[in-house]
Amino acid sequence: MSKSALSWGIVAAGIVLGISFLALVAPVMLYTAGLNDNLWEKVAVMGLMVSTLPASILAIYQRLWAGVWLTLVGVYATVVMSWSAYQLYLSHTVDYSEIVGDGFIALLVALLGVFFVATAALHWPNLSTGFVSAD
pLDDT tens-digit series, residues 24-43: 877 776 666 666 677 888 88
Say if 69 falls within a structural domain. Answer: yes
Say if 10 falls within a structural domain. Answer: yes
DSSP state for residue 27 in the 8-state scheme: H
- Band of the pLDDT at 17, cuts 50, 70, 90? confident
Who's near 82: CB < 8 A, 6+ residues apart?
A: 99, 102, 103
Inter-residue contact 77 to 106 (CB < 8 Å): yes
* Cα distance between residue 106 and residue 99, in whole Å: 11
More confident residue, 86 or 53: 53
Per the structure, the count of domains in the chain is: 1
Say if 70 falls within a structural domain. Answer: yes
Say if 127 falls within a structural domain. Answer: no
Say if 104 falls within a structural domain. Answer: yes
Say if 128 falls within a structural domain. Answer: no
- Band of the pLDDT at 135, cuts 50, 70, 90? very low
The model's pLDDT over 82-116, given as tens digits with 9 standing for 90+, comes to 787 777 777 776 666 666 666 777 888 899 999 99
Q: How far is CA 45 from the centre of its chain?
A: 10
Say if 108 falls within a structural domain. Answer: yes
* Cα distance between residue 61 and residue 112, in whole Å: 15
Who's near 50: CB < 8 A, 6+ residues apart?
A: none
Q: How far is CA 21 from CA 8, 18, 95, 120, 128, in A?
A: 20, 5, 22, 25, 25
Q: How far is CA 114 from CA 33, 70, 90, 119, in A?
A: 29, 8, 31, 8
pTM equals 0.82
Say if 78 falls within a structural domain. Answer: yes
Name the residue range of residue 102's domain: 3-121
